[in-house]
């Protein structure tokens, strides 16, 4: 899993509050002298993931955790994603057509490059040479901005920085979600306090793509229902 350094000084971790980025947070915390976690409220329906991100950042002993208000992102991409637009329903995975799976309505236009650009700006400003990004292999979807090639090309842009080049690491980008969960279980990640459901209701819907992929990953690891997500107060 390591395309990233074994020991680190300051490291920035993009933390959504889901399974992958929370696992990465604990993995990097083991190796870095100072972890600077960064979360964004970009207009996502499931903003409750941010409360869980706060809890996980505390538990991981992050040197700092910032939750950044990026309201403008939802405004700029209005009408373009079921993840941010109240008028566009999040589909059930079982009802998604082949075309929808190839180009899912939950895709958010250029969100990942935007958040990584902000993370790199922050990293450069605090003198952190490494940014960690919890993308994992999306078996079922055509998310172009979760791939190793996306990260490689983004790094080729950042490598031009003559002032302070920052490198993005996505050590899970070639892994399936179940493989990420296995790593997290070894690290003692409390998955009950992570959030996946795209619909962001009081309890997870169980049928959206994120819920289904979460359940499958846990099933594959032989983990029972008790690691199903719970609210931040649990």
Under the binding rule (CB under 8 A), the answer on residue 163 touching a second copy is yes
Under the binding rule (CB under 8 A), the answer on residue 80 touching a second copy is yes
Q: How many residues does the chain have?
A: 234
CA torsion through residues 163, 27, 190, 74, sign: positive
Q: 43 — alpha (psi -120 to 50), left (phi > 0) or beta?
A: left
| Nearest-angstrom CA–CA distance, 46 and 52 | 11
Only segment of 18-26, 89-97, 122-130, 205-213 that touches a second copy (CB under 8 A) = 122-130
| Nearest-angstrom CA–CA distance, 55 and 63 | 13
- CB of 191 vs a second copy, minimal distance in Å: 29
Scan for tokens 């997870």, then name that residue.
204
Under the binding rule (CB under 8 A), the answer on residue 120 touching a second copy is yes
| Nearest-angstrom CA–CA distance, 143 and 104 | 8
CB contact at 8 A, 229 and 192: yes
Nearer to a second copy, 80 or 187 (CB): 80
Nearer to a second copy, 50 or 116 (CB): 116
Under the binding rule (CB under 8 A), the answer on residue 160 touching a second copy is yes
Instruction: Candidates 13, 32, 60, 154: give the one binding a second copy (CB under 8 A).
Output: 154
- Residues in contact with a second copy by CB under 8 A are 66, 68-73, 75-80, 102-103, 107-111, 113-114, 116-118, 120-122, 124-125, 142, 144-145, 147, 149-150, 153-154, 156-158, 160-164, 166
């Amino acid at each position: 899993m390591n395309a990233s350094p074994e020991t680190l000084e300051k490291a920035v971790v993009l933390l959504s509050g889901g399974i992958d980025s929370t696992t990465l947070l604990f993995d990097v915390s083991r190796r870095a002298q100072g972890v600077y976690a960064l979360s964004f409220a970009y207009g996502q329906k499931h903003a409750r993931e941010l409360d869980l991100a706060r809890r996980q950042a505390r538990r991981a002993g992050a040197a700092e955790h910032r939750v950044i208000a990026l309201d403008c992102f939802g405004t700029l991409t209005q009408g373009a994603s079921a993840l941010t637009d109240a008028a566009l329903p999040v589909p059930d995975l079982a009802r998604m057509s082949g075309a929808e799976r190839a180009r899912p309505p939950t895709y958010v236009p250029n969100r990942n490059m935007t958040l990584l650009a902000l993370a790199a700006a922050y990293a450069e400003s605090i003198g952190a040479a490494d940014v960690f990004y919890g993308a994992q292999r999306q078996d079922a979807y055509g998310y172009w901005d979760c791939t190793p090639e996306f990260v490689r090309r983004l790094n080729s842009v950042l490598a031009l920085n003559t002032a302070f080049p920052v490198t993005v690491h996505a050590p899970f980008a070639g892994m399936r979600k179940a493989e990420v969960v296995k790593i997290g279980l070894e690290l003692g990640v409390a998955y009950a306090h992570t959030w996946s459901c795209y619909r962001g209701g009081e309890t997870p819907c169980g049928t959206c793509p994120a819920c289904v992929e979460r359940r499958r990953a846990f099933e594959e690891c032989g983990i029972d229902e008790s690691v199903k997500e719970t609210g931040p107060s649990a």
